[in-house]
Amino acid sequence: MTSELALNVRPYETRLAVIEDNLLVEFYIERKAEPGLVGNIYRGKVIRVLPGMEAAFVDIGLDKAGFLYVSDVLPNIWDLEGEFDQISISQHYRIETLLQEGQEVLVQVTREPISTKGPQLSTRITIPGHYLVLLPFFNYIGISRRIENETERERLKKIVASSKPENMGFIVRTASEGVEEEKIIYEMQKLISLWELILEKKKNTSLPGLVHVELDLCVRTLRDFFGTQTRRLIVDSLDAYKRLIAYAQEFVPHLQHFIELYQEDQFLFHKLGIENVLPQVLRPQVRLKSGGYIVIEETEALVAIDVNTGRFVGENNLEETIVKTNLEAVQEIVRQLRLRDLGGIIIIDFIDMQKESNREKVLGALDKALKRDRSKTRIFQMSELGLVEMTRKRTREGLLHSLCESCPYCQGRGYVKSKRTVFYEILSELEHLHTLKSKIAIKAHPDLIKYIKQKESVIWKQTISSLKKKIDFIPEPSFHIENYEILEI
């Protein structure tokens, strides 16, 4: 499966589109006014230890304190890309034995602030490169499980083991597969030098304070997103192009000729059709080619995805139709997970299948499709009702929350009161306002007024008659459909 990367760089924001087989599958946005925090390293100060939660709050100089779990203070390594071997820890520590209030800690942001929560932190610092990830505090070598060839895994492990310092560790990333020893060792030395610079800068950084800033999205695109199947990285900014070339020359010289500067008059994302796809990401319903569809609902606690046959009626029997719809939905669901960057707990409600073999087929297809996802995922067994529970690692707000804010009209409900409901509220209020003058006016949205006159005219006339008052309407287009005012004239 071939892919290409497209970077749209503007003074106020950078947007990255990941395209696989001419289909947009991932989209990232980084705004100058809202810089990302993941990967940044800070001198932090512990301000509160919470034994009951096995965590601590750490001041890193931002508006919100960071949250540090006890598992992120201990020396155990979890996968950074795909699944890696875990270092087992024989002894369990409690947070109060590791941290005290007022203590200084060197921490790295592992998850952006989400909703009302501050950033999540870790003392297990990692310094990523294109081929390797440096673990400065662990004597450990890990190989990405996406590298499946055992001979290649052993070769890479020997390269790292023969060259790394005794007190440091490395994780070999997927991009290292088939790469010459010289390139891997060269990057290893660069990462070690970078870590030494970070430690030196720490000495001159205030407490709390920022010690190291992660690469911006533009350069991270080359470091983290360029894989063996990527055929080009196209960017529409000359300055960004020069920065990418400079980074490539220093760290990955062989990738220079894959970087292209886009210079046509038509906007890059319009040319690639990306601008037309983005509005669809904001809609809860996604149509399938067969006529079926999926519905995606994001809540505070989880993401619910519902699969429906829609117009698809199949050709033979019902079970076959359902299986085909579910299998088609699998591909679109995985694409939407990546594209919308959905994370946390995800519940997928597939259409119920009678045969156990069909359930296994759909579950296997889901597992296979998720292998293309760069985020860590975990699938649980399908229930008898066709429900699949899965988790997906989340480091930042999803795309919907990055591009949108809560609706000021419905306060995030996704619904507004019906015109009939608002009309009945008006009637109820009028019935209780006995002291009003004989002539009053109701200021409301024009659509509500039109509805009352056309759809509720009988009840409205009865109300006026019973109240024995003259009531006029005043259209106010600026009003929300739920809002109205009752005025004395």
266-294 pLDDT tens trace: 999 999 999 888 888 888 999 998 888 99
Contact criterion met (CB below 8 Å) for 419 and 445: no
Q: Is residue 411, in this structure, part of any structural domain at all?
A: no
In this structure, what token pair is assigned to residue 322? Answer: 């359902």
- Measured distance CA(277)–CA(294) in Å, rounded: 17
Instruction: Average the pLDDT over 334-350 and give the result.
Output: 93
Verify that 145 and 292 share a domain, yes or no: no
Write the Ramachandran bin of 204: left for phi over 0, alpha for psi from -120 to 50, otherwise beta: alpha
Verify that 62 and 167 share a domain, yes or no: yes
Give yes or no for residue 116 having a pLDDT over 50.
yes
Verify that 398 and 427 share a domain, yes or no: no
Q: Is residue 409, in this structure, part of any structural domain at all?
A: no
Sequence length of the chain is 489
Give yes or no for residue 88 having a pLDDT over 50.
no
Q: Is residue 29, in this structure, part of any structural domain at all?
A: yes
Q: Is residue 414, in this structure, part of any structural domain at all?
A: no
Give yes or no for residue 62 having a pLDDT over 50.
yes
Between 410 and 210, the more confident residue is: 210
CATH of the domain at 251: 3.30.420.60
Among residues 275, 293, 321, which one ends one of the domains? 275
According to the model, what pLDDT value does residue 455 have? 93
Instruction: Average the pLDDT over 369-382 and give the result.
Output: 89
Verify that 78 and 200 share a domain, yes or no: yes
Give yes or no for residue 368 having a pLDDT over 90.
yes
Verify that 50 and 177 share a domain, yes or no: yes
CATH of the domain at 155: 2.40.50.140
Rounded to the nearest 5 degrees, what angle is found at the Cα of 375, between the Cα atoms of 53 and 25?
140
According to the model, what pLDDT value does residue 46 have? 95
Verify that 209 and 310 share a domain, yes or no: no
Q: Is residue 228, in this structure, part of any structural domain at all?
A: yes
Give yes or no for residue 68 having a pLDDT over 90.
yes
- Measured distance CA(80)–CA(175) in Å, rounded: 13
Verify that 112 and 137 share a domain, yes or no: yes
Verify that 15 and 145 share a domain, yes or no: no
Number of domains in the chain: 4
According to the model, what pLDDT value does residue 35 have? 87
- Measured distance CA(48)–CA(50) in Å, rounded: 6
HSE-CB at 369 with a 13 A cutoff on CA atoms is 20
Measured in degrees and rounded to the nearest 5, phi and psi for residue 55 equal -155, 175
Q: Which domain holds residue 481?
A: 419-488
Give yes or no for residue 86 having a pLDDT over 70.
no
Give yes or no for residue 34 having a pLDDT over 80.
yes
Q: Is residue 413, in this structure, part of any structural domain at all?
A: no
Verify that 55 and 198 share a domain, yes or no: yes
Confidence of residue 232 (pLDDT cuts 50, 70, 90): very high
DSSP 8-state class, residue 34 = B
- Measured distance CA(169)–CA(86) in Å, rounded: 13
Among residues 371, 403, 435, which one ends one of the domains? 403
- Measured distance CA(382)–CA(385) in Å, rounded: 8
According to the model, what pLDDT value does residue 301 have? 78
Mean pLDDT for the chain?
88
- Measured distance CA(150)–CA(347) in Å, rounded: 35
Instruction: Average the pLDDT over 250-257 and give the result.
Output: 88
- Measured distance CA(191)–CA(113) in Å, rounded: 27
Verify that 262 and 202 share a domain, yes or no: no
Give yes or no for residue 108 having a pLDDT over 50.
yes
Among residues 275, 307, 324, which one ends one of the domains? 275
According to the model, what pLDDT value does residue 91 have? 47
Give yes or no for residue 43 having a pLDDT over 90.
yes
According to the model, what pLDDT value does residue 138 have? 86
Verify that 317 and 393 share a domain, yes or no: yes
In this structure, what token pair is assigned to residue 470? Answer: 């003259």
- Measured distance CA(188)–CA(131) in Å, rounded: 9
CATH of the domain at 436: 3.40.1260.20
Rounded to the nearest 5 degrees, what angle is found at the Cα of 90, between the Cα atoms of 85 and 95?
100
Residue type, 443: K
Residue-wise pLDDT for 169-185, tens only, equals 999 999 999 889 999 99
Residue-wise pLDDT for 152-161, tens only, equals 999 999 999 9
3-state secondary structure of 255: helix
Residue-wise pLDDT for 419-432, tens only, equals 999 999 999 888 87
According to the model, what pLDDT value does residue 272 have? 92
Q: Is residue 88, in this structure, part of any structural domain at all?
A: yes
Instruction: Average the pLDDT over 41-70 and give the result.
Output: 93
| % of the chain with per-residue pLDDT over 90 | 61
Q: Is residue 410, in this structure, part of any structural domain at all?
A: no
Confidence of residue 435 (pLDDT cuts 50, 70, 90): low
Verify that 185 and 257 share a domain, yes or no: no
Confidence of residue 17 (pLDDT cuts 50, 70, 90): very high
Contact criterion met (CB below 8 Å) for 353 and 330: no
Residue type, 248: A
Give yes or no for residue 313 having a pLDDT over 70.
no
According to the model, what pLDDT value does residue 314 have? 60
Instruction: Average the pLDDT over 57-85 and give the result.
Output: 72
Between 11 and 400, the more confident residue is: 11
